[in-house]
Amino acid sequence: MAGEKTEARQQFVNFLFYKVDPAWRRLPPDERAKGKEEFEQVISNYRNDLITVCYSTIGIRGDCDMMLWRISYELETFQSMGGALLATGLGKYLHTPYSYLSMTKRSIYIDQHVHEGQEGKRLAIVPGKAKYNFVYPFEKTRDWYLMSQSARQGMMDEHIEVGHKFPSVRLNTTYSFGIDDQEFMLAFETDKPKDFLDLVHALRGVEASRYTRRDVPIFTCIAHSPKEMLDTLGG
């Protein structure tokens, strides 16, 4: 009806990590090249159905080689694309050591901190704006949730104030309650890794940090085009 407000849709978010079997690097060069081309083509085929940002973790972590940050309005699209990726020549040699699922959701703590492009108000993520992405699952203790809203708000005000001192770091918080093992997924985009390190160090001193239950594993990811990401695999 005219004038009726359309409810904003929440997005599903997936951080999909792959590890390449070393046997893939012993394949003939032509076979490796074909497998990478097939993998890249699948990513391209789904560009109208979801957002995919590619990252390499080669030389940074030993348990994974690349990460696809995928954003969609339909869970089934993740599954369809995932199957297509595994069916490629490269996909047959991939393991999935980590895959995290979350959704966008408006934060309940941001009303006192209003500014343009505020992260906590967004239901739609616009990713891939920086070279580096620091990703990790996050959980609070049960004691955090048993406190009053006003008590938690006071601690979060301090937390947010510290974050504002590092404007070069863009936070993307998504929520996993009931749909995955963690409670939140955090993705910090920046072109200045030192600023992120200093931010995390500063946040260790805020009161809310007492109630952190889990904030590992942490993945340092470098953004690339799909082809560039695949070329870092060494084959």
Tens of pLDDT, residue by residue over 47-95, are: 999 999 999 999 999 999 999 999 999 999 999 999 999 999 999 999 9
The structural architecture, per CATH, of the domain 12-102+222-231 is 2-Layer Sandwich (3.30)
- According to the model, what pLDDT value does residue 112 have? 52
For domain 121-221, give the CATH superfamily.
Apc35880; domain 1 (3.30.70.1030)
Q: For the chain, which residues score pLDDT lower than 70?
A: 1-7, 111-122
* pTM listed for this prediction: 0.92
CB within 8 Å of 152: residues ≥ 6 apart: 109, 144, 208
- According to the model, what pLDDT value does residue 6 have? 52
Sequence spans of domains, the chain: 12-102+222-231, 121-221
- According to the model, what pLDDT value does residue 235 have? 76
- According to the model, what pLDDT value does residue 129 have? 85
